[in-house]
Amino acid sequence: MADRQYDLGTAELEVLKALWDSGPMTVRRVMNHLHHAGRKVAYTTVLTFLSRLEQKGFVTSDKSDLAYVYRATISRDRIRKTRLKELVRQLYDGAAGPLVLQLVRTQKLSRTEIDELHRLIEEMDSKA
């Protein structure tokens, strides 16, 4: 499935995010979730995205009731890890350090994130 994770378009990823955020949902509930997020899409468009995601193996549907209920079969964390690994490979020649430095230099981190970064660095230092 690793290669197919890169086939996710922006809209398909938004549909997956809706399922990750709210759990199993019908097409109409996914559509309403997207509308609340500012993405105006038609019912049939959402149905198409869900069908594609199901064909790719990223969602499954329960067809036992009148309205199909869709749920994600892949975790947000797995998508993040795989896509980040591909980004590191493509833009940083496989070296994660420059990406981390770029993020620290250019992105605002919360106090909690900074504390976690310190903890991880100390943990890495103690292992080295």
> Do 12 and 57 reside in the same domain of the chain?
yes
Closest among 104, 101, 12 to 49, alpha carbons compared: 12
Q: What dihedral do alpha carbons 114, 115, 117, 121 form, nearest 10°?
A: 140
- Per-residue pLDDT at 6: 54
In a domain, 115, yes or no: yes
User: Which tens digit of pLDDT belongs to each residue from 35-78?
Assistant: 999 999 999 999 999 999 999 999 999 988 889 999 999 999 99
Q: What is the pTM of this model?
A: 0.79
- Please report the pLDDT score of residue 41 as a whole number: 95
Write out the residue range of the structural domain in which residue 38 sits. Answer: 2-72
User: How far is residue 73's CA from residue 54's CA, in Å, rounded to a whole number?
Assistant: 9
C-alpha triplet 60, 63, 66: angle, nearest 5°: 135
> Quick check: is 87 in a domain?
no
- State the Cα–Cα distance between residues 109 and 92, nearest whole angstrom: 22
Same domain, 65 and 20: yes
> Do both 68 and 99 map to the same domain?
no
Write down the mean pLDDT value for the chain: 92
Residue with tokens 């591909």: 86
Is 33 a member of any domain? yes
* Same domain, yes or no: 66 and 110: no
**Domain count of the fold of the chain:** 2
Q: How far apart are CA 48 and CA 53, in angstroms?
A: 9
